[in-house]
Structures are given as structure tokens and as C-alpha cells.
Structure 1
Amino acid sequence: MKDVRTVSDTKRAFYAAHPRPINSIYRRVIEELMVEMHLLSVNVGFQYDPLYALGVVTVFDKFMQGYRPERDIDSIFQALCQSVGGDATHYRQQAEQLRSEASMMSPDAFVEQMTSLSVASGEGLMGQLRAIADRETFKYSRLFGVGLLTILEHMNPEVVKSNEMLEKYLKPMADALKLPAEKLQKDLEVYRSNLDKFAQAQVVMADIMAAERKRKEQRQKDRAATAEPADATPAPTDPTSDSSSQSE
């Protein structure tokens, strides 16, 4: 029997793929997402699907906004996917395909089609949802829920700004896919709340870093001002030259 990969194995794989340090405010977010993906990847009931990939990409991109140095973002995502045996390019390609398809639909039309998934096309987003609805067992995850939320957001951004509107669409979606509606609603409420809290933490961190830069600049100015008098002292005159001119 093959040994099941542990969380420690996954973390080692991640840091081997991305050995550069990660800013402290983001490190916890990355590790929590990594553990969540790990636990799903080793769960016998879990099956990868594009909506899960969309959830992963969305969570990563939302929480990594403002990360510096920006050039490390792609490396971190590559390492994250690789650490759980995934392919970052595949994740992003499938996420983009679903977002593109969703942007051409309305939430009302989407939900209407979902209520008749038994006759839905076998391709694209509806095909993916039909396959999920037809499974005897489906391992629901928070990341899958975020994928559904992202679909709605690309159909109409106003939907996700109103709890009332969001609930109007989530309930029939959950029923059509045989998902736990209350858990889906709760997961998305927590996710949105965490986004708000993280955005606030980013503002605080940005203020702290700006204040530190100002203090550093002031220290440099103070050192420069202290050094100026010595630098500005005129060069001593040559006494020999003075006496020579007087004798003439």
C-alpha cells in the first residue's frame, strides 16, 4: 500500500519549489490554503474538477493582491500547486475558461439551466455541473463553493455585494447539485469576511511600512545634515603664497 503524503511532506515540497522567504502577513494565508488543498488531495472521496480549480485560483489571487515583490507571485502559485501534485498552468487555464463562459451568461439564465441539468449539454460549464449532479457521491469543499461564487460574480458583480441576492441564487444552485446549502452559504460568508479582514490588515501593514520608510528617509537626511558643516569648511590658504605677494 502506498504511503499517504503528509502535510509536512507537502510543506517541504512547497518550500523546496519556492525557497525564497514569503512576507509574514501572506505566509499564514498561503499555508492555510496549502493545507486545505493537501487534505482534499489525499481524501479518497475527492475528485479534481474545474470549479475547484477556479476556487483555488480565485482565493490565491484575491489574497495575494498587493504582494511584494510582485515577481514572486507566480513562483508561489507554481509551488503551491506542485506541492499537492497539481499543475498551476492547468489550474489557470481551466479557471479562465469558466470565467469566460460565465461572463456571457446571466445569473437568472444560469440558475434556470441548472434546474434542468438532466437535459444539459455535456460540454462546458453546464457539462461540468451535470457531471457533478450525476455523481452518487461528491466531496464538497469550500474551494468548490468559492468557484461557484466566482461564476456568479463574473455573471453580475452586483450579486455578490448583496447577501439577499446571493442567497436567492445559491439555494437553487445547491439544490440542483445536491450540495449542503447551509454549509455553502456559511463557507462563503466566512470567505467574504476573511477577505475584508485581510484587506484591512493590508492597509495597516501598508501604513506601517510607509511610516518606516519615512523614518528611514528622515534618518538619512539627519545624517546628511550632520555631515554638511565638515564638508562645507573652506580649504586653508597657502601662507607661502600670501607672503610672496606681499614682498612684491
Structure 2
Amino acid sequence: MNNVRTVSDTKRTFYSLHTRPINTIYRRVVEELMVEMHLLSVNVDFSYNPIYALGVVTSFDRFMQGYQPERDKESIFNALSQAVEQDPQRYRQEAQRLQNLAKSLPARDLIAWLSQTNHSVGDADLQAQLQAIANNPNFKYSRLFAIGLFSLLELADPELVKDEKQRTEALKTIAAGLKLSEEKLNKDLELYLSNIDKMAQALIVMADMVSADRKKREQRKQQSSTPVAPPTANE
């Protein structure tokens, strides 16, 4: 009988692959994503699919915006994927494939395709995977799958996802077609959008702190380099 990998095993693998320190504000993001991916990977009902892959890629890219040094982002993503025994290139390639598809479709066609009311959109492989999800009573839904669905809508029509009424209606249609819980889908995406706002605010605060610190250092440097006037003869 095989031993199921633990969260500690996954973290240990990650830090053996990416050995450079991770900036504090982003470490929590990386570790939370790592734990989420780990728990799914060891769940017997979980099966990898391109929409999940898009959710992973979108979540990582969105929350790692502004990371410095920029060159470390690829190493972190690769280590994250490999730590849960997945191929990072597969994630990237399948996410790109779905992104291209979403950008090429009107939102109504994308919604019809995702909700299984129009089978003529997309390629046969993706269509088969959507049907498998809809027909699987044990399909393991996840927050990352929800983010993948949201990303497709956002790419097809950015204005639609900004309009709460239209977004809710689209998600309701998709949830019904794929036999997902509409309540879970909306809750997860509300939390996702809230976290994006919080991260953006945190980055603004961090940028302000860095700027203020830089100004202080420059002022100290100027003060230390200002020549001191020699004493006058009367002193």
C-alpha cells in the first residue's frame, strides 16, 4: 500500500527545488496555493482538467504580480507544480489554449459551451472533458476550478464580469450545465475577488513604504555629504 504524501512532504519538495528566499508578502500566497493543490492532488475524487489548470495559472499570475526579482517567478511556479507531482509546462500550455479560445468567442457562445447547451464550440477533447465533468456525480469541485471558469468569462468579456447581475446570471447558467453548486461557485469567486483587492492594497502600501524608505536614505546621504563650514576667526 502506497503512503499518501503529506503537506510537509510537498513543502519539503518545493523548498528543495526553489532554494531562494520568497519575499514575505508573497510567501503566504505561495504556501496557501501549495497546500490547496496538495490537498486536491491526494483526494481520490480529484482529476486534473484544463479549467483547473487555468485556475492555478491565473491565481498564481494574479497574486504574484509585482514580485521581485521577476526572474524568480518561473522558478517558484515550476517548483510549485513539481511539488504536487505535476508538469508546469502542461499547466501553462493548457491554460494558454483555453485563454486563446475564450478570447476568440463572444461571451454568450462561451457560456453556452461551458453550460453544455452548445456543443459546437471548442475542440472535441475539451468538449469531452466538459461532458465528463457534467456526468460525474463525484466530480471534485475546487476553488481553483471556479477561478478557471471565471477567467474564461473575464477573457471573453471583461465588462460582463464587472457587472454583478450579468456575472451572477452567467455563473448560474454554467453551474446548472456542469451540475455544480451555484452557491459554492459564487462564494469562492466573491472571496477570490476580495483577495485580489486586498493584495492590490497591500502592494500599494508596500510600494509607499519602499518609496518612503528610499527618500529617507537619500536625505541621510545628502546630509552626510554636505560639507561642514570651517569655523570663523572669531570663534
Who is 1:243 aligned against?
A: none
Who is 1:246 aligned against?
A: none
Query: Quick one: distance in 2 between partners of 1:189 and 1:75?
Result: 29
Task: State the one-letter code of the partner of 1:102.
Answer: A
Query: Quick one: distance in 2 between partners of 1:195 and 1:58?
Result: 11
Task: State the one-letter code of the partner of 1:66.
Answer: G
Name the Cα RMSD after superposition.
1.8
Counterparts in 2 of 1:79-228, with a 5 A limit?
Answer: 79-116=79-116, 123-226=124-227
Determine which structure has more spread, i.e. the larger CA radius of gyration: 1
TM-score by length of 1: 0.87
Who is 2:233 aligned against?
A: none
CA distance 1:113–1:73, change in 2 (3 Å): closer
CA distance 1:208–1:114, change in 2 (3 Å): closer
Gaps of at least 5 residues in structure 2 are 231-235
The Cα offsets for residues 109-131 of structure 1, whole Å up to 9 and x where unpaired, read as: 22233444595576154333122
Superposed displacement of residue 215, structure 1: 1.1
Query: Quick one: distance in 1 between partners of 2:185 and 2:218?
Result: 49
Query: Quick one: distance in 2 between partners of 1:111 and 1:72?
Result: 36
CA distance 1:156–1:66, change in 2 (3 Å): same
Superposed displacement of residue 171, structure 1: 0.3
Query: Quick one: distance in 2 between partners of 1:118 and 1:168?
Result: 17
CA distance 1:229–1:127, change in 2 (3 Å): farther
Identity, % of aligned pairs?
54
The Cα offsets for residues 145-175 of structure 1, whole Å up to 9 and x where unpaired, read as: 0000000011101111121110010001001
Superposed displacement of residue 134, structure 1: 2.2
Task: State the one-letter code of the partner of 1:85.
Answer: E
Who is 2:74 aligned against?
A: 74
Task: State the one-letter code of the partner of 1:166.
Answer: R
Query: Quick one: distance in 2 between partners of 1:146 and 1:119?
Result: 22
The Cα offsets for residues 14-51 of structure 1, whole Å up to 9 and x where unpaired, read as: 11111111110000011000000000001011001110
User: Once structures 1 and 2 are overlaid, which stretch shifts more, 86-95 or 132-141?
Assistant: 132-141
Query: Quick one: distance in 2 between partners of 1:33 and 1:225?
Result: 50
Paired positions, count = 229
Task: State the one-letter code of the partner of 2:124.
Answer: E
CA distance 1:27–1:119, change in 2 (3 Å): closer
Tell whether 2:23 aligns with 1:50: no
2:51–2:145: 8 Å Cα contact kept in structure 1? yes
Give the secondary-structure state (helix, strand or coil) at the position aligned to 2:138.
coil
Gaps of at least 5 residues in structure 1 are 231-248
1:114–1:176: 8 Å Cα contact kept in structure 2? yes
1:10–1:38: 8 Å Cα contact kept in structure 2? yes
Following TM superposition, the consecutive aligned residue runs of length 4 or more in structure 1 with deviations greater than 2 angstroms are: 110-122, 124-128
TM-score by length of 2: 0.92
1:171–1:181: 8 Å Cα contact kept in structure 2? yes
CA distance 1:115–1:191, change in 2 (3 Å): closer
Give the secondary-structure state (helix, strand or coil) at the position aligned to 2:35.
helix
1:117–1:126: 8 Å Cα contact kept in structure 2? no
CA distance 1:158–1:118, change in 2 (3 Å): closer
User: Once structures 1 and 2 are overlaid, which stretch shifts more, 199-208 or 132-141?
Assistant: 132-141
